[in-house]
Structures are given as C-alpha cells and as structure tokens.
C-alpha cells in the first residue's frame, strides 16, 4: 500500500471501531415484547410498587428505590429503567450537586442558566469532569442497584437552549462521547433518550428507544412533528422502540400514537402519581 492508502485504512479502522455497530445495538431489540409501560418519579409506596410490577417496563427515579425494591419489581418480569438528567442538574440531586465544579455549569452571558420550574441548572457536557460525574451516578444509582437500563432526560436542551452553533455541535459530540463511554462501561444497560430529535443522529448507534414526551394528536398538520415522525418510522424498522406520552387530557393522542406503533401512555396527573 502507498502511504496515503495506509493512512486512509487506519482512519477507516478508527471510525469503524470508535462506535458500536448500529445494527447490532438495535437488532438486540430489548423492548420487543413490551406492550405497556409506566413513568413514575414518586416514592416507592406499597401501592406504587404493586402498580409498577404490573407493567412490562417502568421508568423510575432510582435514587428513591432500594435494590431490594427493584428486585421485587423485576421478579414479575418488569424491565426497570432508571432516570438520569443529562443536561440539567436539579437542586434536589445532592449526590451530584456536592461534587460539581463551577466549570461544569454552562454559562449564558457569564451567568448560570436556571430553570425555575424545575429548580435545575443547565450543565456543560463538554466538561470531562461533568461527564465523569454522570458515569459515577449511573454506577451507584443504576448499575449497582441492578436496573436494566437508563432513561436519558433533558437531552433536548442541546437543541432548545444552546443557540451558538459551534457550542451546540461540540455538545452533541460530547454527548456521543459520553454514550460511547456508557456503552463500554455498562454494555448490559439499555438506553432510552427523551426527545432531543435534532441530536438523535449522534445518539442512534447507542439507543434502544426514544421517548416522545408531550406527544400531540395533530401531528399530521404540524410540519415539525411530521418530519420527525417520518424519521422515527425509518428508525423503527431498524429496531428502535418509540415511546410516547401525553401530558394533557387531549382525547385522541393515544390513538394516533398506536397507529404509528408507538408505545403510548397518558399522564395528566404528572409523573409523581400513578396514571395508568
């Protein structure tokens, strides 16, 4: 081989081995037998656990549940997925907050971005220290407790709250790097991403599912939604499971979602109460 050919071969090899095989990840289809699910961030009361055990898949706040409680739920065959906020750190998460550095926050005009509704702060995923904190949280709250996977929330902040194109691209690349590390360290854990449709291309090689939070019935009349539905339908054929959830009391979103073979639930009471 000529030098240029050798160099090209090395580059191809690096790219080939840098990321897991997309077909392999989605071909595993860990959610193929899931018919219903529940998203619950409340306390593990006896009533809540009985409800959760009746579902094929649940998404919970793992810091609230003990390993024994999780095993009890799994004993009925329920897949247990643990919540982790990627782009935001809520003030209640003391385990993470106490380890944060000032450089871990993403600043806007020199100030931290605070989401008053959730009492959380926008984080800088480009920071290696912050990504290491997330990996540590996955270990203690999800892997060590024996959960089956993780639910990656607030990824949509990359699309919605980062306006600078260069910073947005860098953050998406950092997210892909983070997912690569997660996949290497915890290959047994499934991954579901919440929204973040424009960032999804960076995550697809690692994702088993995507949740469309705030799904609406009128998607056919909405160009933005229609474009993303078309994209997701293509990924469904490759093995991606699409979940949807409606937060209002709109009458027909579930019917429209099921036509698209989305796994749908309504949550008019929020996530801290049992919905269905």
Q: Let me know: does 262 contact 242? Beta carbons within 8 Å.
A: yes
Domain assignment present for 218: no
The string of pLDDT tens digits covering residues 122-180 is 999 999 999 999 999 999 999 999 999 999 999 999 999 999 999 999 999 999 999 99
Comparing 13 with 175, the larger pLDDT belongs to 175
**CB atoms < 10 A from the CB of 8, how many?**
12
The string of pLDDT tens digits covering residues 221-239 is 999 999 999 999 999 999 9
Q: What are phi and psi of 38, to 5 degrees?
A: -145, 145
Domain span at residue 186 reads: 36-207
Look at residue 94 and tell me whether its pLDDT is greater than 50.
yes
The string of pLDDT tens digits covering residues 149-159 is 999 999 999 99
Domain assignment present for 237: no
Domain assignment present for 12: no
**Per-residue confidence (pLDDT) for residue 234, from 0 to 100:** 97
Over 121-170, what HEC string results? EEECCCCHHHHHHHHHHHHHHHHCCCCCEEEEECCCHHHHCCCCHHHHHH
Domain assignment present for 116: yes
3-state secondary structure of 272: coil
Q: How many domains does the chain have?
A: 1
CATH number of the domain bearing residue 121: 3.20.20.70
Residue whose C-alpha is closest to residue 239's, from 217, 261, 268, 215: 261
Domain assignment present for 43: yes
- Its pTM surpasses 0.85: yes
The string of pLDDT tens digits covering residues 241-261 is 999 999 877 667 899 999 999
Domain assignment present for 196: yes
To the nearest whole percent, how much of the chain has pLDDT over 70?
Answer: 88
Average pLDDT of the residues in 40-52: 96
Domain assignment present for 110: yes
In whole angstroms, what is the distance from residue 33 CA to residue 36 CA?
Answer: 9
Look at residue 265 and tell me whether its pLDDT is greater than 80.
yes
Look at residue 271 and tell me whether its pLDDT is greater than 50.
yes
**Per-residue confidence (pLDDT) for residue 72, from 0 to 100:** 97
Look at residue 103 and tell me whether its pLDDT is greater than 60.
yes
Domain assignment present for 51: yes
């Amino acid at each position: 081989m000529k030098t240029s050919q050798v160099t090209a071969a090395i580059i191809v090899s690096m790219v080939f081995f840098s990321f897991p095989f997309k077909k392999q990840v989605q071909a595993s289809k860990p959610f193929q037998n899931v018919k219903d699910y529940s998203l619950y961030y409340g306390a593990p009361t006896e009533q809540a656990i009985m409800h959760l055990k009746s579902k094929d898949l649940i998404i919970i706040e793992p810091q609230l549940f003990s390993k024994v409680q999780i095993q009890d739920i799994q004993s009925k065959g329920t897949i247990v997925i643990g919540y982790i906020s990627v782009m935001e750190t809520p003030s209640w998460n003391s385990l993470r907050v106490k380890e944060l550095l000032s450089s871990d926050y993403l600043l806007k005009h020199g100030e931290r971005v605070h989401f008053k509704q959730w009492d959380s702060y926008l984080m800088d995923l480009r920071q290696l220290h912050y990504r290491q904190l997330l990996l540590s949280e996955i270990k203690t709250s999800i892997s060590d407790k024996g959960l089956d996977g993780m639910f990656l929330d607030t990824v949509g902040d990359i699309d919605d709250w980062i306006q600078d194109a260069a910073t947005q691209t860098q953050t998406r690349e950092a997210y892909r790097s983070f997912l690569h590390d997660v996949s290497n360290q915890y290959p047994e854990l499934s991954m579901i991403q919440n929204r973040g449709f424009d960032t999804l291309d960076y995550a697809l090689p690692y994702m088993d599912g995507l949740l469309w939070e705030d799904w609406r019935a009128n998607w056919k009349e909405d160009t933005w939604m229609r474009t993303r539905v078309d994209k997701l339908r293509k990924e469904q054929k490759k093995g991606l499971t699409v979940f949807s959830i409606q937060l209002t009391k709109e009458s027909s979103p579930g019917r429209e979602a099921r036509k698209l073979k989305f796994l749908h639930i309504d949550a008019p009471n929020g996530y801290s109460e049992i919905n269905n």
